[in-house]
Amino acid sequence: MSGDAEKPLDPESARVVAKVRRLMLIAIMTTFIAVAAVIAVIGYRVFRGEERAQALQSVSAMLPAGTKVLSSAIGDGRLVLTVEVNGTIELLSFELNTLKPLGRVRLAQ
Protein backbone atom coordinates (compact mmCIF):
# COMPACT_ATOMS: atom_id res chain seq x y z
CA MET A 1 0.00 0.00 0.00
CA SER A 2 1.89 3.00 -1.22
CA GLY A 3 -0.82 5.53 -0.42
CA ASP A 4 -1.25 6.61 -4.05
CA ALA A 5 -4.67 8.00 -4.73
CA GLU A 6 -6.59 6.31 -7.50
CA LYS A 7 -6.87 8.29 -10.68
CA PRO A 8 -10.41 9.39 -11.55
CA LEU A 9 -12.07 7.47 -14.39
CA ASP A 10 -12.68 9.14 -17.67
CA PRO A 11 -16.39 9.80 -18.47
CA GLU A 12 -16.69 6.77 -20.80
CA SER A 13 -15.35 4.37 -18.16
CA ALA A 14 -17.53 5.94 -15.48
CA ARG A 15 -20.65 5.28 -17.61
CA VAL A 16 -19.62 1.66 -18.15
CA VAL A 17 -19.01 1.16 -14.41
CA ALA A 18 -22.37 2.76 -13.60
CA LYS A 19 -24.14 0.53 -16.13
CA VAL A 20 -22.47 -2.62 -14.74
CA ARG A 21 -23.43 -1.61 -11.19
CA ARG A 22 -27.02 -1.06 -12.30
CA LEU A 23 -27.15 -4.48 -14.01
CA MET A 24 -25.64 -6.15 -10.93
CA LEU A 25 -28.25 -4.48 -8.73
CA ILE A 26 -31.03 -5.76 -11.01
CA ALA A 27 -29.57 -9.29 -10.93
CA ILE A 28 -29.24 -9.23 -7.14
CA MET A 29 -32.82 -8.02 -6.66
CA THR A 30 -34.16 -10.61 -9.10
CA THR A 31 -32.30 -13.37 -7.26
CA PHE A 32 -33.54 -12.11 -3.90
CA ILE A 33 -37.16 -12.05 -5.11
CA ALA A 34 -36.84 -15.56 -6.60
CA VAL A 35 -35.38 -17.01 -3.39
CA ALA A 36 -38.07 -15.27 -1.32
CA ALA A 37 -40.77 -16.73 -3.57
CA VAL A 38 -39.37 -20.25 -3.24
CA ILE A 39 -39.17 -19.94 0.55
CA ALA A 40 -42.74 -18.59 0.64
CA VAL A 41 -44.04 -21.52 -1.43
CA ILE A 42 -42.22 -24.04 0.74
CA GLY A 43 -43.60 -22.42 3.88
CA TYR A 44 -47.10 -22.40 2.44
CA ARG A 45 -46.88 -26.08 1.53
CA VAL A 46 -45.53 -27.03 4.94
CA PHE A 47 -48.26 -25.25 6.87
CA ARG A 48 -51.07 -26.22 4.51
CA GLY A 49 -49.80 -29.81 4.37
CA GLU A 50 -50.51 -30.30 8.08
CA GLU A 51 -54.22 -29.87 7.46
CA ARG A 52 -54.15 -32.45 4.68
CA ALA A 53 -52.11 -34.89 6.77
CA GLN A 54 -54.62 -34.64 9.61
CA ALA A 55 -57.48 -35.28 7.18
CA LEU A 56 -56.00 -38.64 6.16
CA GLN A 57 -57.44 -41.54 8.02
CA SER A 58 -57.54 -45.26 7.79
CA VAL A 59 -60.43 -46.49 5.67
CA SER A 60 -61.24 -49.88 4.25
CA ALA A 61 -63.63 -51.22 1.66
CA MET A 62 -65.57 -54.39 2.24
CA LEU A 63 -65.44 -56.85 -0.64
CA PRO A 64 -67.46 -60.05 -0.90
CA ALA A 65 -65.80 -63.24 0.38
CA GLY A 66 -63.77 -65.06 -2.27
CA THR A 67 -63.19 -61.90 -4.31
CA LYS A 68 -60.02 -61.81 -6.41
CA VAL A 69 -58.79 -58.33 -7.36
CA LEU A 70 -57.62 -58.37 -10.99
CA SER A 71 -56.63 -54.70 -11.40
CA SER A 72 -57.12 -51.24 -9.97
CA ALA A 73 -57.16 -47.70 -11.33
CA ILE A 74 -57.24 -44.28 -9.67
CA GLY A 75 -58.45 -41.12 -11.33
CA ASP A 76 -60.80 -38.17 -10.98
CA GLY A 77 -61.26 -38.78 -7.24
CA ARG A 78 -62.34 -42.37 -7.75
CA LEU A 79 -60.89 -45.83 -7.26
CA VAL A 80 -62.04 -48.52 -9.69
CA LEU A 81 -61.34 -52.17 -8.97
CA THR A 82 -61.72 -54.96 -11.47
CA VAL A 83 -62.60 -58.04 -9.44
CA GLU A 84 -63.60 -61.62 -10.04
CA VAL A 85 -66.40 -62.92 -7.83
CA ASN A 86 -67.41 -66.57 -8.30
CA GLY A 87 -66.21 -66.54 -11.92
CA THR A 88 -67.98 -63.26 -12.81
CA ILE A 89 -65.94 -60.13 -13.54
CA GLU A 90 -67.17 -56.90 -11.93
CA LEU A 91 -66.05 -53.27 -11.87
CA LEU A 92 -66.40 -51.70 -8.43
CA SER A 93 -66.16 -47.92 -8.14
CA PHE A 94 -65.37 -46.15 -4.85
CA GLU A 95 -64.89 -42.53 -3.79
CA LEU A 96 -61.13 -42.18 -3.31
CA ASN A 97 -61.13 -40.30 0.01
CA THR A 98 -63.79 -42.26 1.92
CA LEU A 99 -64.01 -45.51 -0.10
CA LYS A 100 -67.77 -45.06 -0.20
CA PRO A 101 -69.16 -47.37 -2.91
CA LEU A 102 -70.26 -45.42 -5.99
CA GLY A 103 -71.24 -48.16 -8.37
CA ARG A 104 -70.94 -51.75 -9.55
CA VAL A 105 -70.87 -53.04 -13.11
CA ARG A 106 -71.13 -56.77 -13.81
CA LEU A 107 -69.62 -57.92 -17.07
CA ALA A 108 -71.30 -60.86 -18.78
CA GLN A 109 -69.11 -63.65 -20.11
**Residue 45 pLDDT class (50, 70, 90 cuts):** confident
Sheet with 88-95: list strands edge to edge: 68-75, 78-85, 88-95, 101-107
Q: What is the arithmetic mean of pLDDT over 22-28?
A: 97
The residues, any chain, with a CB within 8 Å of residue 101's CB and separated by 6 or more, are 61, 92, 93, 94
Quote the pLDDT of residue 16. 95
What percentage of the chain carries pLDDT values higher than 90? 48
Distance CA 71, CA 92 (A): 11
**Residue 30 pLDDT class (50, 70, 90 cuts):** very high
**Residue 37 pLDDT class (50, 70, 90 cuts):** very high
What residues does each domain of the chain span? 8-56, 68-107
